[in-house]
Amino acid sequence: MIARTLPRPRPALWPFIPILAGFVLVAVFAPLIAPHDPDAQNLLGRLKAPGTTARDTFYLLGSDELGRDLLSRIVHGARISLAVAIASVVASGIIGTALGMVAALRGGWTGTIIMRVVDIVLSIPPILLAIITVAVLGPGIVNVVVVLALTRWPRYARVAYGQTLSVVTMPYLRIARFTGAGPVRLLWRHVLPNIIGPIIVVATLEFGLMVLFEAGLSFLGLGVQPPTPSWGSILSTGRNYVSTAWWIATFPGLCLFLLVLSVNVIGDTLRDRVDRGSD
């Protein structure tokens, strides 16, 4: 009797693509969508509940402790979160993929040293490594991108290393070597196109983690610095007013939840399709 493997149930994909696309559009057109200046203070309108008006200013999602419009700060915070996540994913992906391919293609001591460094970095909790690094470099958007790229590149290196090992034995790669193709041409023209699928899947899953890491660092005061709005810094402020102004922490937390959930579901779907394609 042959046992059948039931397909793993997956959530419907269609609701999450519009959610992710909506966040991207909000981030791109933040200056046009935000109803007010995110940094404009109105002390007479501080801690106003959602749907109230103070000094001719309507607060759809309420105001914070300085009377700043929460909706405007969330909209501009989406731009910061997505920009940091995209930049860190691209940087870590380029570094990790390049090192992973070089380690697999060269082998020997080069490959051993690269992969041992990967093991060392992966053995350290990523958020702890990020906190230590940003504490040394200092807070700021650029430093946050550098820190996230330096802490997450080993994930790409491992995937690129394993995928490249399965490609280097292919006949077309041997033919390319015999025709005089150098290492750079081999990696760029023959190896990378054949391993880019799994790398994209990793990048999609890492994107959600980058958003969470940026929010966590900003929550701790080590990321984006005030008055620049960030979901993490808004959450950090909102924790002090949970009992009196619940909306300050609730709405950015909900946005963070929806964005990460959408990216993870899309990433899981891509991974399943890539796995089926490789079977």
Q: What is the domain partition of the chain in residue ranges?
A: 16-32+61-278
Residue-level pLDDT at 267:
83
Query: Is residue 21 packed enough to be buried (19+ CB in 10 Å), middle (13-18) or exposed (0-12)?
Result: exposed
Q: Residue 132: which residues within 8 A CB-CB, separation 6 or more?
A: none
What confidence tens digit (pLDDT) does each residue in 88-106 have?
A: 999 999 999 999 988 988 8
What confidence tens digit (pLDDT) does each residue in 53-62 have?
A: 887 888 899 9
The predicted model gives 259-273 an average pLDDT of 85
Q: Alpha-carbon distance 260 to 205, whole Å?
A: 9
Cis status, amide bond into 227, omega within 30 of 0: yes
The predicted model gives 186-215 an average pLDDT of 85
Considering 10-24, 54-68, 126-140, the range whose residues carry the highest mean pLDDT is 54-68
| Cα-based torsion angle of the residue sequence 124, 126, 132, 137 in order, rounded to the nearest 10 degrees | 130
Does 262 or 127 have the greater pLDDT score?
262
Q: Which residues pair with 63 in a beta bridge?
A: 69
Q: What is the CATH code of the structural domain delimited by 16-32+61-278?
A: 1.10.3720.10
Q: What is the 3-state secondary structure (H, E, C) of the chain?
A: CCCCCCCCCCCCCCCHHHHHHHHHHHHHCHHHHCCCCCCCCCHHHCCCCCCEEECCEEECCCECCCCCEHHHHHHHHHHHHHHHHHHHHHHHHHHHHHHHHHHHHHCHHHHHHHHHHHHHHHHCCHHHHHHHHHHHHCCCHHHHHHHHHHHHHHHHHHHHHHHHHHHCCCHHHHHHHHCCCCHHHHHHHHHHHHHHHHHHHHHHHHHHHHHHHHHHHHHCCCCCCCCCCCHHHHHHHHHHHCCCCCHHHHHHHHHHHHHHHHHHHHHHHHHHHHHHHHC
Residue-level pLDDT at 279:
53
Instruction: Round the average pLDDT of the chain to a whole number and report it.
Output: 84
Q: What is the pTM of this model?
A: 0.84
Residue-level pLDDT at 2:
43
Does 188 or 267 have the greater pLDDT score?
267
